Structure formats: C-alpha cells, structure tokens
Copies of this chain bind each other. A is one copy, B any other.
Amino acid sequence: MNLHDLKSVCGSCTIRELCLPAGLSDEEVHLLDQHMDHRQVVSKGDYLYRVGDPFRSLFAVSSGFFKTVLLHEDGRGQITGFQMMGELLGLEAIHSDHHVCDAIALEDSAVCAISFDQFEQLGQIMANLQHRFNKDLSREIVREHNVMMLLGSMRSEERLANFLIDLADRHAHRHQSSVEMTLRMTREDIGSYLGLKLETVSRLLSRFHDEGLLEVRGRRVKILDRNALALRRTETHN
C-alpha cells in the first residue's frame, strides 16, 4: 500500500481541530471524509504545485512545512507565507482556476487533498462547513493585512521579532514548544518573507543572540526572553 494513495480520514485525525473540520460535529466530519480526496506525500524540496497549474484541489497540511513563493517576471521572488500542519494551501487559486504561486515543501511533508468542486457541493449542503471556510478565507486576508503592515511600516528588527513570536505562537498552538524551535527555512527565505536580505536577517539574529534574547545555533532557535523579544515588535523600546 502506497502512502500516496491513502485515503484521508478527518474523523480520526489528531489535528482535526486545527484544520478545516474544526468545530464540525462528528456526523459532519464523517460526511466531509466521504468527499475527501487522497492523501499525498511531498518530499523536502518538492513542489506541491506550481504557478500555472490548473486548480483542482485545496490542500491541508497534514504534517511538515511549506512555503509559497510568488514569482516576478524578472526572476525576483517573494515568499508570501509559510504553512504548517492544519493550514490550507491553494486558496489563491480559486479566483482564476490556476495556481498563481509555487508551493514547496521545506521538509518531508504530507497533505490531504480536497477536490474543490466536491468541496463546494458539500458546502451547499453543510452550512457549517461553508461558514468555516468563509472564515478561513477571511483569516488569510487578515494575516496578509498584518504582513502588509509589517512590510510597509516596520524596521528590520521589528519585522524579525514579529516573525519569531508569530512562529512561536503557531508552534504553541500545535502543542509544540514555543521556546525551542527548529527553523525549517533558510535565512534567505526568512529575508524574502520579511522584505530583507539574508545578510540582514543573519545580522539581526546575531544581534538578538548577543543581547540575550535568543540562543541561535544555525536553525535551532531558543527564545530566552520572550517578553523582551515581544517588545522589539514595536518601535519604542527605550
């Protein structure tokens, strides 16, 4: 039996409450399960989808870690997000029926695929599901608002502090340590997401380290003083 062909089963999924079926009743989840597509493994470095691919399915990250990259004609790329378990991939593609960014696994990962056609039909008979989905889309909009704020009006130090705290919170929400984390992405990835160059990210991490806010060893990061770090998210920290 091939992992690629495993059926998704939300009903018995440990991250059910973090994911699409959050808040649904057992019967509703059962119904959702019947319409779930396959489960799919994506190895580190592989593309889940690429710009231009026709849009058929949404994906829920079951395990692992992804980045989504928006490509600009002249080669420049912007990372628009990092997705961890329970989070949805592919929402941007609904509009044009084609993916408009690349989704790349940053570690060996697995996703649950949901045929969007079937999902929409299901939404028609399950108001709860549709409502949850509307909220998920809206949440993504809010998240991006916050990134716009970050990119548009914060200095480098604040950007990185925000990034680290956000990452820690998302780990905590998944019952993982919000103190010690292994970054799944390179300095360049972080820089791309934050609108900074990799050297700047590296320097900032060193700075935070020197100041006793973090312990940084490569991609292992330990938050030593969360309060102080949290203060760095905003300008005046005299």
In the complex, what residues of B have CB within 8 A of residue A146's CB? 70
A187 to B173, alpha carbons, bound, how many Å? 41
Let me know if A120 is at the binding interface, CB within 8 A.
Answer: yes
Let me know if A195 is at the binding interface, CB within 8 A.
Answer: yes
Q: A120-B131, A144-B145 are in contact. Are A92 and B138 (CB under 8 A)?
A: yes
In the complex, what residues of B have CB within 8 A of residue A93's CB? 138
Each complex incorporates copies of this chain amounting to 2
Find out whether the CB atom of A80 lies under 8 angstroms from the CB atom of B148.
Answer: yes
Number of interface residues of A (CB under 8 A): 49
Give the secondary structure class of A's interface: helix
Most chain B CB atoms below 10 A, which of A72, A92, A138, A139: A138
Let me know if A123 is at the binding interface, CB within 8 A.
Answer: yes
Find out whether the CB atom of A74 lies under 8 angstroms from the CB atom of B195.
Answer: no
Considering only residues 55-93 of chain A, those with a C-beta below 8 Å from chain B are 70, 72-74, 76-78, 80, 91-93
Considering only residues 109-156 of chain A, those with a C-beta below 8 Å from chain B are 120-121, 123-124, 127, 130-131, 133-142, 144-149, 151-153
**Stretch in contact with the other chain, from A33-41, A94-102, A175-183, A214-222:** A94-102
A80 to B152, alpha carbons, bound, how many Å? 10
Let me know if A235 is at the binding interface, CB within 8 A.
Answer: yes
Closest to A78 in B: B149
Contact digits for A171-200, partner B, Cβ 8 Å, 1 yes 0 no: 000000000000000000000111100000
Considering only residues 5-39 of chain A, those with a C-beta below 8 Å from chain B are none
Closest to A135 in B: B95
Find out whether the CB atom of B124 lies under 8 angstroms from the CB atom of A127.
Answer: yes
A174 to B139, alpha carbons, bound, how many Å? 29
Instruction: Name A120's contact: one of B134, B142, B193, B195 (CB within 8 Å).
Output: B134
Let me know if A236 is at the binding interface, CB within 8 A.
Answer: yes
Closest to A133 in B: B134
Let me know if A234 is at the binding interface, CB within 8 A.
Answer: yes
Closest to A151 in B: B151
9 A-B residue pairings within 8 Å (CB atoms) = A77-B153, A93-B138, A95-B135, A95-B136, A95-B139, A133-B134, A137-B137, A148-B148, A153-B195
